[in-house]
A and B are shown apart, each in its own frame.
Chain A
Amino acid sequence: MLFSGPTMTSLLDTMPPTEVGERLREARENAKFTQAEAAEAADLSRTTLISIEQGQRKVRIDELRRLTNFYKLSINELMRQEAVQANLTPKFRKLFQQEDDAVETAVKKLEGLAKAETELERLLGVQHFRNYPPERLFSRGTCEPKPNRTLSICGSDSVWD
């Protein structure tokens, strides 16, 4: 067993039920199961699963085990303290139609990888070094490039900074 840290039951006691529920919901969605399917697999009623996911009812350790088995996760992975809760999907929502599977799949990939990298940083105790340029908001004028000058009003301007 590679994971070393607080025991599962103590984590289950200290992590707020809403957070446990949120992680379970995310895990279910990532595994692409409906609440009905997951409830059946874990031998729960759908309403019970719903209240677990919403944090209204604390999940029991045996239920947790059955759910994570079904989602093909270890309990460790689900409960990891370093797991990142950021979400990119909502940010993209207004950019794609509900039926646009391809975009949603791509966004989920990006989200998954970015979270994985962030989680690895936390596990390794490493800081993410950011060296972004200052934000350049738009100035007046057009974005036509001017061939005989290296600067134009926007766009190529910031290239030279």
Chain B
Amino acid sequence: MRQRLGLGLSPISDIVTLLELELGVRVYIRRIDGGISGLFAYDEALGACILLNGNHPRDRRAQTAAHELGHLVSTRREPEVLEEGVTENSREERYANTFGRAFMTPARAVMQKFKEITVGSEKLTRRHVIVLAHFFGVSREAIVRRLEELKLAKSGTWDWFQANGSISDQQAAQVLGDLSGPDLHKVDADRPTTLRLGLLAGEAWRRGILSEGQLARMLHLDRVELRRMFDGLEIEGSEADGALMPD
């Protein structure tokens, strides 16, 4: 997959856009209740579809997305509900989990970055964890467990952190400064639609094929959210909205 996408060992900065615009998977982010991390389904007419929970932070959504990508690869025809905190032991689940981990945090990349970032230190500090997690775009827990799995950290390291005051968001903010921030998570989760859907909706609106009300209903948004999405888009034939396409 990484080779197919020309990713090599690089971290995945935006898996949702990758899924949407490179693979052509339909991805949506909405706030979901009920302890659900995500859904995956495949239909002949619709194609592969993924729903991620907008209530989860961005790195967790990325991990869910990577897991669902594993399903796309292996058990495409079977739908899935990924629930919070439920560890399934089926082969399909283990595959998707392994795939997800390897996709977001490939072993060789983790080993390399780990060496660079810990610079010979004897201890794995919170700062190390924060930076590594940020680099790979995964949660702090995910990166520590991956380090344990790859035997770069002692088994039980995450539990140790949890028992010793954990690694807080405030600490992460201190280390990362401008690079992180709850704002980033919030912006993503509150964006009314994912990119492709927004582009299609914008074009339909611009061409006058659908009204605001119709679009709002179709996309399960209220008019305020829809207008926010179209903010900045000129309507009714403004000259400055865009350049003409070549013939």
Contacts and interface: CB of A to CB of B under 8 A. Distances in A.
Interface of A: 2, 72-74, 76-77, 84-88, 91-92, 95-96, 100-103, 105-107, 109-110, 112-121, 123-124, 126, 128-133, 135-138, 143, 145, 147, 149-150, 152, 154-156, 158-161
Nearest to A118: B46
Interface string B1-17: 11110000000000000
A150 to B, nearest CB: 5
A47 B81 CA distance: 37
A110 B29 CA distance: 9
B218 A101 contact: no
Contacts of A106: 32, 34, 36, 39, 51, 81
B81 A123 contact: no
Nearest to B108: A150
A138 B200 CA distance: 36
B39 A107 contact: yes
Given A120-B197, A124-B207, 4 more contacts: A95-B79, A106-B36, A132-B72, A145-B149
A130 B20 CA distance: 9
Contacts of A137: 74
Nearest to B214: A77
Interface residues of B, number: 67
A161 to B, nearest CB: 6
Contacts of A117: 26, 196-197, 200
A92 B41 contact: yes
B46 A114 contact: yes
Contacts of B167: none
Contacts of A132: 23-25, 48, 72, 76
A127 to B, nearest CB: 10
B25 A143 contact: no
Interface string B25-61: 1101010111110010101111111110000000000
B99 interface: yes
Nearest to B66: A159
A113 B28 contact: yes
Interface string B149-160: 111000000000
Contact of B46 (A2, A72, A86, A138): A86
B50 to A, nearest CB: 8
B106 A150 contact: yes
Contact of A145 (B25, B101, B218): B101
A137 to B, nearest CB: 7
B2 A131 contact: no
A88 B46 contact: yes
Interface stretch (B90-98, B120-128, B174-182): B90-98
Contacts of B97: 155
A101 to B, nearest CB: 7
B73 interface: yes
Choose among B79, B201, B209, B219 the residue with the greatest number of A CB atoms under 10 Å from its CB: B79
Contacts of B151: 147
Contacts of B41: 88, 91-92, 107, 110, 114
A147 B145 CA distance: 13
Contact of B30 (A95, A109, A161): A109
